[in-house]
Structure 1
Amino acid sequence: MHDDTCVIFGAGDYYDAPVVPDGAFIVAADGGLDHVRGLGLTADVVIGDFDSLTGRRPADGERTIALPAEKDDPDMLSALKIGWSHGCRTFHIHGGLGGRIDHTIANIQLMALVSRHGGIGFLHGDGTVVTAITDGELRFPANDVPPGRMVSVFSLSDEARDVNEPGLKYQLRHATMTNTRVNGVSNEFLQGVPSAINVHHGTLIVTFPSEAPMPEVVRFHGFAGDLGSLDTAVSPVLAKGVSAHGNS
């Protein structure tokens, strides 16, 4: 059973058939419901303003949360909040990459938000997984990922300190990374060698090949807080008389 795992279906691009672990909590975010239906699955919760849904609108009920078009939170953040409120701390997101570049950037930022509260999120894309780690480590077991399949690391924090990459082809040791300096791109696994990526102070965005084994997540201290309650209104700091853009 995967009682702490949430699988979220978004409205972005899909590349491979999503894998849904037994017992996972399933959330369809707006147009992600089209993909849930196409896979013959049933969502535990459907949430969104349904502006990207092409099929029939879901029936009203306790499993459907309809959001207004004008709101601050994108539908993906709302889906994450639903999963978090049900006790999930591991999130696998399909349909969160590709499509609109602004949605892709937003979803990468959301992985950092989850990591900063002690959770872990994985965006599954075109042969690549994108995740974030804060004050912790991703431990990869020995694997047979072939050369040329890249592992890359970026600092989302202004500064990420004491970054280490033991077991990778290029082994960073006690490095400092910033969000304006690119010095962690195009690394590789070594076949048959366990490896890790860790940061002791800050948040990293990590991309790795989808055929690699999922990493064990180790956190260096406890985390507090949550993702907050569902936001169904436009921020009060928005200038009066200015129409908000609906987020999806």
Structure 2
Amino acid sequence: MKVLIITGGNIDDDFASSFLKKNHYDEIIAVDGGLAFADRSDLSITYLVGDFDTIDRTILEKYIHRPDICVHQFIPEKDYTDTDIAVKLALSLIKNHHSEENEEKVIHILGGTGSRLDHVLANLQMLKNILDEDVRGIIIDRNNIIEMIRGERVLKREEMTGTYVSLIPVTMELTGITLSGFKYPLENASSHFGESLMVSNELLEEEGRIFIKEGMAWMIISKD
């Protein structure tokens, strides 16, 4: 099952439209200001979430009373961000979905980065909640694909959308790190929170393998 969350950060329309053409989603959740992009892109959203303090009221009125859209409205003085609420909703939808064996479970987040660094950091941390449910959570913008990983991950050159691959420790310690197929390989290495050992690597082979024995890291595929 694949769920798309469109939230209120920076969205490059040309990039986002191109990206969405390559993906099909079972559910699309628009989050407050993210509804503006969904509206101008004519996306068929299935859920609308937020306190609606940033979206233009004219746009909101086009959607809030539609019977085919499930609306979750909250007061601005709430405990969690709109995006966090949307992530919890997406995880609930995936949990209650009857998945076929080996069906991939993915949440894509557009608009998860932007000028509000507090929101960006909160969104990056939310990827742990998604990972803990054995779901792939991926924040996407024009220059970056960000995912929290543990264990093993294989990258294929044909699927790469950026030049650089970086691993940023999330846990205090990372142990048993092996990188093969990369410009800067590692074999059973260690790193820790606050260290830049694995920033700006590059895939050399047609396939690159990342293995982390213990710990978690943000994997960021980026381009200038």
Q: d(CA) in 2 for partners of 1:73 and 1:199? A: 31
C-alpha distance 144-201 of structure 1, shift in aligned 2 (>3 A): closer
Amino acid paired to 1:74: T
Given the alignment, which residue of 82, 86, 89 partners 1:82? 89
Map of 1:12 onto structure 2: 9
CA distance in 2, matches of 1:36, 1:144: 26
Structure 1 segments, 4+ long, off by >3 Å, are 142-146
5+ residue gaps in structure 2?
96-104
Indicate whether 1:160 and 2:160 are aligned. Answer: no
Structure 2 distance, partners of 1:144, 1:96, is 22
**Normalising by the residue count of structure 2, what TM-score does the alignment of the two structures yield?**
0.83
- Pairing of 1:98-247 with structure 2 (within 5 A): 98-134=114-150, 136-143=151-158, 149-190=163-204, 192-209=205-222
How far residue 108 of structure 1 moved from its aligned partner, in angstroms, is 0.8
Distance 2:189 2:77 in 1: 42
1:234 maps to which residue? none
Between the aligned partners of 1:47 and 1:166, the Cα distance in structure 2 is 42
Give the aligned residue type for 2:79: D
- Count of residue pairs the alignment pairs up: 204
Deviation at 1:142, TM superposition (A): 3.4
The Cα of 1:23 is off from its aligned counterpart by 4.0
| Inter-partner Cα distance in structure 1 for 2:26 and 2:106 | 10
**Contact 2:3-2:25 within 8 A present in 1 as well:** no
Question: Helix, strand or coil for the counterpart of 2:94?
Answer: coil
In structure 1, the partner of 2:71 is: 64
- Would you say the 8 A contact 2:16–2:142 is kept in 1? no
Displacement of 1:31 after TM fit? 0.8
Aligned to 2:27: 25
RMSD across aligned positions (CA) = 2.1
Q: Residue 154 of structure 1 contacts residue 177 of structure 1 at CA under 8 Å; is this kept in 2?
A: no
Q: Please give the TM-score of this superposition, normalised by the length of structure 1.
A: 0.76
Return the letter of the residue paired with 2:218: I
Check the 8 A contact 2:149/2:216 in 1, yes or no.
yes
For the 8 Å contact 1:145–1:189, the answer to whether it is kept is: no
Work out whether residues 28 and 43 of structure 1, in 8 Å CA contact, stay in contact via their aligned partners in 2: yes
Say yes or no: does 1:40 pair with 2:42: yes
More relative contact order in 1 or in 2 (CA 8 Å, sep 6+)? 1
Counterpart Cα distance in 1 of 2:27 and 2:131: 19
The one-letter amino acid of 2:163's match is R
